Amino acid sequence: MPYYYTLGNIPHKRHTQFRKPDGGLYSEQLFSTEGFSNDYALLYHVHPPTRIIQTDEAIDVTPKIAEEKMLKHRSFEGFNIKPQNDFLKSRKPVLTNNDCTIVLAAPQIGTKDYFYKNADADEVIFVHEGGGSVYTQYGELPFSYGDYIVLPRGTIYQIQFTHEHNRLFIVESHHPIRFPKKYLSRNGQLMEHSPYCERDIRPPQNLKTYDEPGDFIIKTKKQNQLYGIHYGHHPFDVVGWDGCCYPFIFSIHDFEPITGRVHQPPPVHETFETNALVLCSFVPRLFDYHPQSIPAPYNHSNIDSDEVIYYVDGDFMSRKNVTRGMITLHPAGIPHGPHPGAVEKSIGAKETKELAVMVDTFRPLMLTQAALEIENPGYIMSWAE
């Protein structure tokens, strides 16, 4: 999905001899998507990336489904997820289907003693609180509040935080995360009407090559099983790479809102898409400027999708009792809209300072046990006069 980029040292031609200073060959690795038919990157390792020396028994990490079918508006207090030291143990799936899993996490340390790879899903990690760096074979990705960290499936990474107070909203997608097609030219460039451009995409930096033998464990998730796979050399032994498939960061603060004379529908906030969901960014913006405009969103029915909103910061004039880190789920099949009094109250307002992330899934979501533990009871009745 990102534009072409290169870092470190690579040979003039792909699939040709590329030798080390001692005369040995570097080991080329093709990191490709959709077989050999879509975006890819070529990485050059000091050692072959295939030297497995040990494997551990798999651990079942399947989300514990509490409600498979339901037709009710729900609300969850995301900040009630308790902090944990370990990055993987801190990740709590709250909503899931066969296309994606939505996860909340409050990690305190990171992945100091292991590496992680999601072999099933692309990951989008939204940083609500905290900061630090993601370390990958491609280089380093420093992150902070408001960043979307986009990690193609199969990316090996470690994540470290600068302090222990961190809050993450994570989308694991079994379909490739892409820039929306409506923003792209025929040749793949983000066009003038796009709310962001290539200048806003932050690729990896500061590539370091680790030529270290030892026992390096990569905890790899595949089909909801977590496998411990041990390698005989440090996985970050890459001397250079190039291509269009690599992890990157985009900040929600760099999303340029699209406004109009009357209320604009959610697709104007679209940031990423897959075949099974869209991810949108609601950012501070001027309200509609028709003299009779109503800034509050109109009542609407999600006929074809479940709507999830993760509230980040600011004032949400269409909802009552919104807290930071709250999640609302409005399932397909019944209409929803502003809470009572919100429409009249919004008239005459000039701007909003809201910050939120929305995920619309095209197939129904299931609730996990972790979601029920942080649910706000009675949310469905909050539209009662």
367, two tokens: 């609730």
Residue 34 predicted with pLDDT over 90: no
Global pTM value: 0.96
Among 201, 224, 252, residue at a domain's last position: 252
Q: Give the pLDDT confidence of 199-237 residue by residue, as tens digits.
A: 999 999 999 999 999 999 999 999 999 999 999 999 999
Rounded Cα–Cα distance for residues 151 and 122 (Å) = 6
Clarify whether residues 214 and 98 are in a common domain.
Answer: yes
CATH of the domain at 336: 2.60.120.10
Clarify whether residues 122 and 94 are in a common domain.
Answer: yes
Give mean pLDDT, residues 42-46: 98
Among 207, 226, 252, residue at a domain's last position: 252
Residue 330 is labelled as binding a ligand: no
Query: Quick check: is 144 in a domain?
Result: yes
Clarify whether residues 269 and 194 are in a common domain.
Answer: no
Could you tell me the residue range of the domain that residue 317 belongs to? Answer: 253-383
- Concatenating the DSSP letter of every residue in 163-201 gives SS--EEEEEEESS--B--GGGB-TTS-B-TTSSS-GGG-
**Torsions phi, psi of 135, nearest 5?**
-110, 130
Clarify whether residues 54 and 203 are in a common domain.
Answer: yes
Going by pLDDT thresholds of 50, 70 and 90, the confidence category of residue 384 is: confident
Which of 177-181, 187-191, 262-266, 274-278 is predicted least confidently? 262-266
Clarify whether residues 96 and 56 are in a common domain.
Answer: yes
Region for 27 from its dihedrals, namely left if φ exceeds 0, alpha if ψ lies in -120 to 50, beta otherwise? beta
Predicted pLDDT at 297: 85
Query: Quick check: is 16 in a domain?
Result: no
Q: Higher confidence at residue 259 or residue 344?
A: 259
Q: Give the pLDDT confidence of 291-318 residue by residue, as tens digits.
A: 898 888 888 887 889 999 999 998 776 6
Clarify whether residues 211 and 94 are in a common domain.
Answer: yes
Query: Quick check: is 352 in a domain?
Result: yes
Clarify whether residues 189 and 332 are in a common domain.
Answer: no
Among 219, 252, 285, residue at a domain's last position: 252
Residue 56 is labelled as binding a ligand: no
CB neighbourhood size of 64 (10 A): 11
Clarify whether residues 93 and 218 are in a common domain.
Answer: yes
The tally of domains found in the chain comes to 2
Clarify whether residues 156 and 190 are in a common domain.
Answer: yes
CA count, 13 A, side-chain hemisphere, 302: 21
In the chain, the percentage of residues whose pLDDT exceeds 70 is 99
Given 174, 230, 253, 263, the catalytic residue: 263
Residue 263 designated active-site = yes
347, two tokens: 């008239």
Query: Quick check: is 156 in a domain?
Result: yes
Q: Higher confidence at residue 142 or residue 33?
A: 142
Residue 73 is labelled as binding a ligand: no
Give mean pLDDT, residues 95-108: 97
Mean pLDDT, the chain, whole residue set: 94
Residue 385 predicted with pLDDT over 70: no
Going by pLDDT thresholds of 50, 70 and 90, the confidence category of residue 344 is: confident
